[in-house]
Amino acid sequence: MGKKIKIILVDAYIGNFPSLGLAYIAAYLREKNGICDIQILQRKFCPNLIDRITDEKADIVGYFSITPGFDKLLEVIAGVRKRDSGVAQIMGGPHMTALPKRLPKEINVGVISEGEITMSELVNIYVKYKRFPLQELERVKGIVYWKGEEIVQNEKREPIKNIDDLPLPARDLLNIEGYYPVNFRGFPTKILNSTGMMTSRGCPFNCAFCQENVLSRFRAHSAKRAVKEIEELINRYKCNFIQIMDDQFLVSVDRLKKIVQLIIEKKFHKKASFFCYLRANQITEKTAPLLKKMNTKIVFIGFESGSDRILKYLKDKTCSVANNQRAYDLCRKYGMEVYGAFIAGSPDETMEDLEKTYQFIKKNHLAIGEIFILTPLPGTRIWDYAVSKGYLNPDAEISWDKLLIKTTSGYKDKLWLSEHISKEEYYNFYEKKIRPVFWHYLQVANGFSFIDLLRPVFWKRVRKRPKFFLSVLKQSIIHFFKCKISLYNEKVQ
């Protein structure tokens, strides 16, 4: 057996979830390319990525790219190349897939779409040649690479037909204990250990703002495979709060019935509660009771807007305000808390549309919610619109930090697309009307601020849901001490 090659997979974006995509690739490489020593580094736990990567003297470094934080990723890539000119650097992810012709010069190979099979083939080439000869790269589907000063893009790789064939993600390489469900603290469930999972890939819909279709077409795991992963999360990783993060969990009622049946048979509903990301138009009298039966405590719904006109634009005519209201009512009827997400800044949005969104939020007393800025992510219809209007030039240098979706700090530097509302008008509206009715997750994470205590809407919510308030307070205290312990352990190590 030859010498093991060292592979480091890197997520330079500090997000709220473990790098599940990298864990899938690591698991596949372990299964297909046995002579690998694999690590996953996440900037959330490894702030000095350049030092760590170069100190490890890796043979191959693979980077996961998303548009938010891409500027930071470029710094890491350039820093590693400067210190180690011989290391093989590969980049994949939705940003790379959407913009393959913008391959950074420091990257040897870019991976387009799903990365498991492509990465395995690239590792085989490296094991044989200790580099990536051009004649070998020409045979690999789904990649881009440099040929002198020219970027070459190979034939497209077909999506994996049966995603059940993929091994379970290598979560042992992730610091999943370091990921508390940051956005969702304080819900009435005993959160001791939490992580996320996917039961499908891709999406059959075509929302204007979403990159999900950039990577691959829609395919779903079987019910048996989905529950196998749930079983591993509960038994091996001791998770008792599982986030099902793909929006298409309810796409098939028959599959959902089988998943719930298996969960009940194995009594997993008594060992864990669930947080599900859902589409409003799939929450019905058939699906909502099944969610309740499997012990779903919280649902995330992308309501997006309180205006039918804007919803028609954003959701490609697949949702309406009536759909959203029915979905919310059904979730509350079956005892599930609702986290609602909204989007502001559509090109034709007016203050009247924004007021309708505010009224929807105010009417429904969402447990937790947030409103995001419509952001033109590469590969989406909104990106094409921004390019056509001259807001972005895909052939020029772009400051990717201005393509952040959060409404909060730094809003003045963000790209704003609305033709009828200025950024200042929106932000004032948000601060005066929308923000006070949200229990913003950052406020919950840090306890209740003095300003919160002065807001009448805060105490109105406390009166409506005193048990919920006590649960938020309890979980905030628990999380505070868990963070302190985690930081102490990091320092000791």
378-381, Cβ contacts within 8 angstroms, sequence gap of 24 or more: 378/67, 378/94, 378/95, 378/98, 378/99, 378/211, 378/214, 379/94, 379/97, 379/98, 379/99, 379/211, 379/213, 379/214, 380/208, 380/209, 380/210, 380/211, 380/214, 381/206, 381/208, 381/209
pLDDT for 36: 86
Percentage of residues in the chain having pLDDT higher than 70: 84
Predicted confidence band of residue 186 (pLDDT cuts 50, 70, 90): very low
pLDDT for 478: 60
pLDDT for 18: 84
Predicted confidence band of residue 452 (pLDDT cuts 50, 70, 90): low
pLDDT for 78: 97
pLDDT for 439: 57
Backbone dihedral angles phi then psi of residue 320, each to the nearest 5 degrees: -140, 170
pLDDT for 467: 64
Average pLDDT of the segment spanning 363-376? 86
Tens-digit pLDDT profile for residues 258-280:
999 999 999 999 999 999 999 99
Average pLDDT of the segment spanning 221-242? 96
Tens-digit pLDDT profile for residues 301-311:
999 999 999 99
DSSP string for residues in 193-246: SEEEE-SEES-SS--TT--HHHH---EE--HHHHHHHHHHHHHTS--SEEEE--
pLDDT for 438: 73
Predicted confidence band of residue 161 (pLDDT cuts 50, 70, 90): very high
Tens-digit pLDDT profile for residues 69-99:
899 999 999 999 999 999 999 999 999 999 9
Average pLDDT of the segment spanning 408-418? 76
Spatial CB neighbours of 299, under 8 Å, sequence gap ≥ 6: 275, 276, 277, 278, 283, 291, 331, 336, 337, 338, 339
Predicted confidence band of residue 464 (pLDDT cuts 50, 70, 90): low
Rounded distance between C-alpha atoms, residue 239 and residue 287, angstroms: 24
Judged by average pLDDT, the poorest of 32-41, 206-215, 280-289 is 206-215
Predicted confidence band of residue 474 (pLDDT cuts 50, 70, 90): low
300, 306, 312, 318: CA torsion to nearest 10: 40
Comparing 468 with 243, which gets the higher pLDDT? 243
Comparing 15 with 470, which gets the higher pLDDT? 15
Q: What is the mean pLDDT of the chain?
A: 87
Q: How far is CA 119 from the centre of its chain?
A: 21
Which range scores top for mean pLDDT: 29-38, 121-130, 186-195?
121-130
Instruction: Locate the DSSP E strands across 367-482.
Output: 368-373
Comparing 176 with 479, which gets the higher pLDDT? 176
Predicted confidence band of residue 473 (pLDDT cuts 50, 70, 90): low
Predicted confidence band of residue 140 (pLDDT cuts 50, 70, 90): very high
Average pLDDT of the segment spanning 443-447? 43
Tens-digit pLDDT profile for residues 97-116:
999 999 999 999 999 999 99
Average pLDDT of the segment spanning 427-442? 74
pLDDT for 432: 85
409, 413, 414, 420: CA torsion to nearest 10: 110
Judged by average pLDDT, the poorest of 156-170, 355-369, 398-412 is 398-412
Identity of residue 446: N
pLDDT for 444: 44
pLDDT for 404: 75
Tens-digit pLDDT profile for residues 395-411:
898 989 888 776 555 66
Spatial CB neighbours of 88, under 8 Å, sequence gap ≥ 6: 59, 60, 61, 108, 109, 126, 131, 132
